Amino acid sequence: MTRAKYSNIFYGYLFLLPYLILFCAFILLPLIYGLGLSLFQWEVLSNAPPRFIGLGNYREALGETYFWKALGATLRFVAMIVPSVVFGALLIALALNALPEKSGGFFKAAIFAPTIISISVAGILWRWFFSAEFGLFNAWLAPLGVKVPWITENRWAMKSVVLMTVWWTLGGPMVVLLAGLKQIPEQYYEAASIDGAGAMRRFFHITLPLLKPVLLFVIVMNIIGSFQVFGQTFMITRGGPELSTRVLVQYIYETAFASYRLGYGSAMSWLLFIVIAVFSILQFRLVRERE
Amino acid sequence: MKKIRLRLIQFFLLAAAVVFLTPIALIFLTSLKPDSEIIHFSGIFPRQWTLDNFREIFDTPEEIPIFRWLLNSVFISSAVTFLILLVNSMAAYALARLELPGRRGLFVVIIATLMIPGQILMIPVYLIINKLGLLNTPWALIIPAGAGAFGVFLLHQFFLGIPRSLEDAAIVDGCSIFGVYRHIVLPLSKPALSTLGIFTFLGSWNDFLSPLIFLDSVDKFTLPVGVALFQTSYAAEYGLTLAACVVCTAPALLAFVFFQRHIIKGIALTGLKE
């Protein structure tokens, strides 16, 4: 090897160095550290030194009602939000795609706009909308004599959070799906029309099969993201009423940063990670088997 | 028939746009109402327009240091954006272009971490930041942000598309690796850099969980956390709270209006390039 080549390699690693330092310090190390922590009993408030307990934290979580309740709340949220967002986003993307070329920019921007609002602002706003007494929604419903306990009753609270989340997050999937629709060659539709295929047939035989990879990507990303829901419930319902909307990330947050049980919190976050991984793998498997 | 169909679709989209925009408009319109009109809702528009809510949040810096929060937010988001653009573009350039032993494996490891949900790092990063003595400082939010793999991935893909002949010509002319990066790769990558920059800035501006964990004292808060504090301390004063929300939302909304093409195109790309 020539000297110049050695110096190139040296400079190359120099270019990588700043990023690698940050990557090791704030991603790789925390990953290993967190896994290690999950095997220790470490309760900062009790002043006791961390104690190795093997899988004790995991066993505790799996045997505890609060963990299952939080996992249940998370699953309920995921089960409601993913179909709502994906279906809504697909419907709007299809409508936008049916407009003449180069139009619809305003509609797209308007529907995307809520995604750039901070969750604390969005949360405050919707908490006010949902408020039973002074709330906007109940003020609008008052002439009908209806008063909805949006966030004060168990059977409504999670649905209200889902409603708000549809508004807040629909824009991203919509834009991705629209880009996917635009990639489908126009000729396919023309050929199908000449053959006398109606709108329904064209949708099920051209649009849906060709959109499938993008649609799958959107669904998987949405599931992964939805499992990590936190801000909405933290701001709007605070996990209530009766912990019916306390999702896993909120429970982990409270365990680690309010009760300072760091080992237990780490173990629960790994459990959440496992749940997410299992769901993503299952999803890809299912799709592959059908093909 | 075709015309009617198009009109129906337009009507549907218009209705959707109104539904999605109304809550945003309500933040602004309600902040201009006196409290009495908020508690007894009397229409979307104020009957009596007033700036009192804004006057009050800006005039009581000891109780509501909103100006301080605004400065904190501007500083943190700008610093995060600068750090990510610099560090990620250097790493992406080295990984995409330089003949380094082991770069392929390294790239795979970095990209694999994109799948890791952020909350799994929350507790260990908190402890590391604590060890470094950075808790309750802006650096706790800035430095770890540079480690994200998203920017490296995005820029790496973009750099691969730049014709190599340009770089080779510059090297033949005696340009150093740094010179190629600085004078050829970066200027040609403006679209990708600006997309990443806007994403990063907005993401950092709106970030809620990290400041909630890493910052303790009120004067260190960013706008989203400061605004959330309102909800607990000024629960009944919707007017003040919404005025603070306007301060938090307006900059992000302005950035969106200016750069919406970039932002929307960037989202579409990240979804398709997989």
Are B83 and B201 spatial neighbours (Cβ–Cβ below 8 Å)? Answer: no
Q: Which two tokens stand for residue A152?
A: 């004060």
Q: Which two tokens stand for residue A134?
A: 């002074």
B146: chain A residues, CB-CB within 8 Å: 18-19, 22, 26
How far, in Å, CA of A45 to CA of B236, rounded? 34
B147: chain A residues, CB-CB within 8 Å: 19, 22-23, 25-27
DSSP assignment letter at B114: G
How far, in Å, CA of A152 to CA of A162, rounded? 15
What percent of chain B is predicted at pLDDT more than 90?
A: 49
Q: Show which of residues 109-128 on chain B sit within 8 Å of chain A, judged by CB atoms.
A: 110, 113, 116-128
B21: chain A residues, CB-CB within 8 Å: 110, 113
Query: Phi and psi for B118 in degrees, rounded to 5?
Result: -60, -30
How far, in Å, CA of A256 to CA of A38, rounded? 12
Convert the pLDDT of each residue in B113-130 to its tens digit: 888 888 899 999 999 999
Domain residue limits, chain A: 3-52, 59-290
Enter the ipTM: 0.88
* CATH code of the region A59-290: 1.10.3720.10
Cis peptide leading into A209, omega within 30 of 0? Answer: no
Are B102 and A11 spatial neighbours (Cβ–Cβ below 8 Å)? Answer: no
Chain A interface mutation, best of B7, B66, B80, B120, highest count of A Cβ atoms under 10 Å = B120
A183: chain B residues, CB-CB within 8 Å: 272
How far, in Å, CA of B119 to CA of A174, rounded? 26
Say which residue the tokens 């993503």 belong to: A280
CB-based contact A106 B144, cutoff 8 Å: no
Residue of A nearest to B238 (CA): A128
CATH superfamily of B63-272: MetI-like (1.10.3720.10)
Residue of A nearest to B7 (CA): A99
Q: Which two tokens stand for residue B58?
A: 């800006």
- DSSP H or E run through B160: helix B150-160
> A51-52 and A40-41 as β-strands: parallel, antiparallel, unpaired?
antiparallel
Average pLDDT over residues B38-58: 86
Which residue from A12, A117, A179 is facing B249, i.e. has the nearest CB?
A117
DSSP assignment letter at A157: H
* A50–chain B Cβ distance below 8 A for any pair: no
Is 90 exceeded by the pLDDT of residue B211?
A: yes
Following CA atoms B42, B48, B49, B53 in sequence, which dihedral angle do they give, to the nearest 10 degrees?
Answer: -80
How far, in Å, CA of B116 to CA of B147, rounded? 13
What percent of chain B is predicted at pLDDT more than 70?
A: 97
Average pLDDT over residues B233-258: 87
Are B243 and B223 spatial neighbours (Cβ–Cβ below 8 Å)? Answer: no
Is 50 exceeded by the pLDDT of residue B110?
A: yes
Closest CA to B143 of B224, B77, B80, B221: B80
How far, in Å, CA of A266 to CA of A34, rounded? 6
How far, in Å, CA of B69 to CA of B73, rounded? 6
* A18–chain B Cβ distance below 8 A for any pair: yes
Residue B156 neighbours by CB under 8 Å, 6+ apart: B92, B95, B96, B107
Residue of A nearest to B30 (CA): A125
- So what's the pLDDT on residue B44? 85
Are A70 and A249 spatial neighbours (Cβ–Cβ below 8 Å)? Answer: no
Is 50 exceeded by the pLDDT of residue B253?
A: yes
- So what's the pLDDT on residue B270? 67
Left (φ > 0), alpha (ψ -120 to 50) or beta: where does A104 sit?
left
B125: chain A residues, CB-CB within 8 Å: 26, 30
Task: Please state, rounded to an integer, the average pLDDT across all residues of chain B.
Answer: 89
B185: chain A residues, CB-CB within 8 Å: none
Domain residue limits, chain B: 1-50, 63-272
More confident residue, B233 or B46: B46
How far, in Å, CA of B46 to CA of B52, rounded? 13
How far, in Å, CA of A198 to CA of B98, rounded? 53
Is 90 exceeded by the pLDDT of residue B146?
A: yes
Alpha helices in chain A (DSSP H): 3-23, 29-37, 56-62, 65-98, 105-112, 119-130, 136-141, 154-169, 171-182, 186-194, 199-202, 208-227, 231-232, 248-257, 262-290
Q: Which two tokens stand for residue B78?
A: 């700008």
Paired with A51 in beta bridges are A41
CB-based contact B123 A119, cutoff 8 Å: no
B268: chain A residues, CB-CB within 8 Å: 175-176, 178-179
CA end-to-end distance (rounded Å), chain B: 39
Q: Compute chain A's Rg from CA coordinates.
A: 24
Is 70 exceeded by the pLDDT of residue B274?
A: no
Average pLDDT over residues B130-140: 95
* A29–chain B Cβ distance below 8 A for any pair: yes
Closest CA to B46 of B34, B64, B58: B34
Convert the pLDDT of each residue in A102-154 to its tens digit: 788 899 999 999 999 999 999 999 998 998 887 889 889 888 988 889 998 88
Least Cα separation, residue B232 to chain A (angstroms): 10
Least Cα separation, residue A201 to chain B (angstroms): 17
User: How buried is B268 (Cβ within 10 angstroms: 0-12 exposed, 13-18 middle, 19+ buried)?
Assistant: buried
pLDDT grade, residue B261 (50/70/90)? confident
A6: chain B residues, CB-CB within 8 Å: none
CB-based contact B93 A111, cutoff 8 Å: no
pLDDT along chain A (291 residues), means of 10: 68 91 95 93 82 91 94 96 97 93 88 93 92 86 88 92 96 91 86 82 88 88 91 90 92 92 94 91 78 62
